[in-house]
Structure 1
Amino acid sequence: MSQRGWSRYSSRTFYLFVSPWVLGFLLLTAVPLAYAFGVSLTNFDGSSPRWRWVGLRNYSELLGDSAAWSALLRTIAYTAISVPLSVAGGLALAVLLNRRLRAVGLWRTIFFLPSVVPVVAMAIMWKLVLNRDAGILNAILQVVGIAPVSWLVDPMAFYSLIILTLWGLGGGMVIMLAALQGVPAELEEAATVDGASPWRVFRHITVPMISPVLFFQVVTGVIATFQIVVQPLLLAETNSIAGVGQVPQSTHLYMVQVYQEFFTSNRFGYGSAMLWVFFLVILAFTLLIQRSGRLWVHYEVDADADR
């Protein structure tokens, strides 16, 4: 009887449970994406009712926009530096805090806390720390005889942005820590008994066992760093909308350029075209990373075993 009831209502129950996600996807993702694509085919300025259909003109203009492509290259360079450092730093902290240390729970909490600080508060705090005249970092450098450094202007602004990104390693550390605790201790002990050094155990056993988690961290890190916009704006000398152009050239990333097109130039159509092209770029990099994962990601169950 229970089996008949389940077969009768299983499909209805399934759609009932997935309906919140489906509605959220349609209303918060699919519809905005379609609307943004429609806007990208117009010269809409965000407020005036006088707009007209321009077709693919915004996309053709973007192909010749050297400022947008330069910003994209800076974004790729920033991602190529910050993501490996973030993943490696989170793994190093996880390995360190996976040991039996005194007050290890306290240390884990201390390293995790920066990752839960709101991004606006974090950027403002680091702007105060990196201030050339009154920042605590330059005060420390002066004590050891180093002249004050202009951290918030070129060329140091790029490295300051990376420092700001690496300050929130705690989130990745927690994920890595969970992965390390899932590695069977028997495998590591067996390798040690066979004479393997700690480094060889870590390289040939631990890393392959947690490679799916590393893959997850790389993919999500690339997607997140490509879309960074708040930090460069708040680290700039002027934070008002009119002052977006004062963002240092080295931290004028692609999303900062998009922000400028939307809220400084009021070119909503062109900005939407930039976002759609950026979506395709991020998708291409994500697929490239997924394809490369076949070479270095190891799963306990072979995905091709049943084929």
Structure 2
Amino acid sequence: MSTGQLTDQAAGTGTSATSPSRPPAKTPRRPAPLRIRRARAFYVFTVPWVIGFLALTAFPLGYALWLSFTNADGLSPNTRFVGLENYREVFSDPETMDSLWRTGVFTAITVPLGILAGLLLAVLVNQPIRARGVFRTLLYLPAVVPPVGAALTFKLIFDRDSGAANGFLDVFNVNGVSWLVDPYARWVLIMLTMWTVGNGMIISLAGLQDIPRELLEAARVDGASPWQSFSRITLPLLSPVIFFQVVTGIIGSLQTFAPLLMSLSPTPAGVTGVPESNYFFMIHVFAQYFANGRYGYASALLWVLFAIICVVTFLIFKLSKGAVFYSVEPEQAKSKPRTIGDAR
């Protein structure tokens, strides 16, 4: 067969006689859409949090809820289901109701006082004075001290025999006072709570610095007094900050546990030594858990407190309508923001 015939045959079959056949080229894979990639990254980064939430929050909450319907004591394996018996005892136990009442009174005193003191300090350190950064640091420094250290320090300061408070009274020939027993223990606790007022000061200071100066200058030009500018401009614009402090302050005060560190001996049995005025709800829960071994009843107490906090928070949000003024109204925040080039 001649060379011309081989060429004609290769041309007719569409293949070359001298070169091997090539596989067809693969189509490149399209990258996943941006929405899917973002969702994938979101789930990857949230997996550690989800695991921690399930292991350290969801499971303990569910286990405590199950315990609240039993007579568990933490030692005996013969746990029996008792239904709503623990919850009935919560609302019929005078000691529980008294501890809840004391906690409510303490909250009603310390939350407004702490917000007012923090706002006053924020207004003072917001003035154009020299070394105001130093004053801000010094006023905020006590809030950095851990709660355990602050409580134990106050316990040492107000000790009847060797405390600095009675040492100061001795200078004026005043007899020593038993600060950590009734009727003074409650006031020592209030002072301990006010010790961390620097947190509220920083939050209020941030709110003050967010207020446009043009509004205050315009009010001053119009002849408004400092009090009128503060009450009619500063306070309304600070209402979201104050509202935040009210909610978080109430939640924190209802869970107060610091008095236990001030007036309790190291052993669980020492819970009976807490002054009556400082025998708060959380201390009562501690006593039921570790002194009385009533895990089921104590779990019911905690769930009742959780329900109370939810109800109080819900009522605060409902009552705050019309009293809290936001720079952006909710209706405006939900609307799509206008961009350059949008048709009017």
TM-score of the superposition, structure 1-length normalised?
Answer: 0.94
Quote the Cα distance in structure 1 between the aligned partners of 2:31 and 2:250. Answer: 46
| Structure 1 position 280 matched with structure 2 position 297 | no
Counting only pairs closer than 5 Å after superposition, residues 81-96 of structure 1 correspond to structure 2 as: 81-96=109-124
2:283 matched residue in structure 1: 256
- Using CA pairs under 8 Å that are at least 6 residues apart, name the structure with larger relative contact order, 1 or 2: 1
Q: Give 1:170 deviation, angstroms.
A: 1.1
Match for 1:199: what amino acid?
W
Q: Which amino acid aligns with 2:306?
A: F
Partners of 2:123 and 2:31 in 1: how far apart? Answer: 49
Confirm or deny: 8 A CA contact 1:233 1:239 kept in the other structure.
Answer: no
Shift of 1:146: 4.1
Does 2:34 match 1:6?
Answer: yes
Residue 111 in structure 1 maps to residue 139 in structure 2: yes
1:163 corresponds in structure 2 to 191
| 1:186 pairs with 2:214 | yes
Tell me how far apart the structure 1 counterparts of residues 114 and 300 of structure 2 sit (CA, whole Å): 30
Q: Distance in 2 between matches of 1:205 and 1:3?
A: 53
Query: Within 1, Cα distance between the matches of 2:174 and 2:327?
Result: 52
Residues 237 and 258 (structure 1), Cα distance of their counterparts in 2 relative to 1, 3 Å cut: closer
| CA root-mean-square deviation | 1.9
Greater shift, 134-143 or 70-79, is seen at 134-143
In structure 2, list runs of 5 or more residues that go unmatched. 1-28, 336-344
Matches within 5 A, 1:46-125: 46-125=74-153
Residues 264 and 271, structure 2, Cα contact 8 Å, conserved in 1: no
Q: Which residue of 2 aligns with 1:216?
A: 244
> What's the CA shift for 1:13?
2.5
Q: 2: distance between equivalents of 1:2 and 1:207?
A: 56
2:329 to 298, 302, 305: 302
- Structure index of larger Rg: 2
Q: Determine if the alignment matches structure 1 residue 234 to structure 2 residue 261.
A: yes
| Counterpart-to-counterpart distance in 1, 2:52 and 2:223 | 54
Q: Is 2:274 the counterpart of 1:247?
A: yes
Amino acid in structure 2 at the alignment position of 1:15: Y
Is 1:45 equivalent to 2:76 in the alignment?
A: no
Contact 1:124 1:234 in 2 (8 A): yes
Offset at 1:267? Answer: 0.4
Out of 271-280 and 55-64, give the one that drifted further: 55-64
* 1:151 equivalent in alignment to 2:185: no
- For each residue in 1:4-56, what CA deviation from the matched residue of structure 2 results, as whole angstroms up to 9, or x when unmatched? 63134232223223333333332222221111000111111112212211111
CA distance in 2, matches of 1:218, 1:103: 30
C-alpha distance in 2 between matches for 1:128 and 1:32: 35
Q: Deviation at 1:268?
A: 0.4
User: Distance between the aligned counterparts of 1:147 and 1:192, measured in 2?
Assistant: 53
Q: Which amino acid aligns with 1:97?
A: V
Moved more, 232-241 or 29-38: 232-241
Q: Give the Cα–Cα distance (whole angstroms) in 2 for the partners of residues 120 and 235 of structure 1.
A: 9
Task: Label 1:299 to 1:2 Cα distance change in 2 as closer, same or farther (>3 A).
Answer: farther
Question: Going by fraction, where is helix more abundant, 1 or 2?
Answer: 1
SS in 1 for 2:133: helix
Once the two structures are TM-superposed, the CA of residue 144 in structure 1 deviates from its matched residue by 3.6
**Percent of pairs with identical residues:** 48
Question: How far did residue 87 of structure 1 move?
Answer: 0.8
What's the CA shift for 1:145? Answer: 4.8
Q: Deviations over 1:84-125 (max 9, x none)?
A: 111111111111111122221111111111111111111111
Match of 1:293 among 320, 325, 329: 320
Structure 1 letter corresponding to 2:305: F
Using the TM superposition, give the Cα deviation of residue 135 of structure 1 relative to its aligned residue in structure 2, in angstroms.
1.8
Once the 2 structures are TM-superposed, how far is the Cα of residue 200 of structure 1 from its aligned partner? 1.1
Q: Distance in 2 between matches of 1:2 and 1:171?
A: 52
Consecutive unaligned residues in structure 1, runs of 5 or more? none
* TM-score when normalising by structure 2: 0.84
Q: Is the 8 A contact 1:97 1:107 kept in 2?
A: yes
1:63 is displaced (CA, Å) by 1.8
Q: Shift of the alpha carbon at 1:3?
A: 9.7
